[in-house]
Amino acid sequence: MQIIHSRIMKTYDHEGSLRRMGDDPELFQEMVGLLRSDAPPLLDALHEAHKAGDAVRMHRAAHTLKGLASNFGAERAVAAAAEAERLAKANQSAGLPAAIRELEEAIAELIGALTPSTPTAPNLEMSRSR
């Protein structure tokens, strides 16, 4: 399994994000809100699919998270989601718990970094018990 060192990778690319969003700060804010609202249920779905052994749902959730993070040039989150997606696609469940933890940490870091860009930030803590 590939371990991703978080201190080397960029949390997100503000300038690049704005460029990808047509230099529209309102769209940027909307995308931050979308990430904040969609990431927790997608992470929940990833956990639930892993528990159920549903590789298709795991792959879909990881792929969607990768897309959300890529809007922000979030290297760590994109790499973590890609690893979870790869493991799910290959149905390699042994490496998935660590990959999912890395993805959760990377998404939390991304949301934390984007928090100054938005008026309110929800807590990324998942409601389920692990």
Say which CATH number the domain at 82 has. 1.20.120
CA distance 118 to 28: 10
In a domain? residue 7: no
- Nearest residue to 38 via CA among 8, 97, 81, 88: 81
pLDDT digits (tens, 9 = 90+) for 85-112: 999 999 888 899 999 999 999 999 999 9
Reply yes or no on whether the pLDDT at 118 is more than 60: no
Number of domains in the chain: 1
* pTM, two decimal places: 0.81
In a domain? residue 123: no
In a domain? residue 121: no
What pLDDT is attached to residue 9?
65
What pLDDT is attached to residue 130?
37
Question: Residue 90 has which token pair?
Answer: 């290959």
In a domain? residue 66: yes
> Which distant-in-sequence residues (6+ apart) come within 8 Å of 55 by Cβ?
49, 88, 89, 91
In a domain? residue 8: no
Between 10 and 6, whose confidence is greater? 10
In a domain? residue 1: no
What number is the average pLDDT over the span 20-45?
95
In a domain? residue 5: no
Reply yes or no on whether the pLDDT at 7 is more than 90: no
Domain that holds residue 101: 14-116
Looking from the CA of 48 toward its CB, the CA atoms found within 13 Å total: 12
Q: Are 126 and 40 in contact (CB under 8 A)?
A: yes
Q: Which long-range contacts (CB under 8 A, 24 or more apart) does 38-42 make?
A: 38/64, 38/68, 39/65, 39/68, 39/107, 39/111, 39/124, 40/122, 40/124, 40/126, 42/68
In a domain? residue 128: no
Mean pLDDT lowest among 6-20, 32-46, 82-96: 6-20
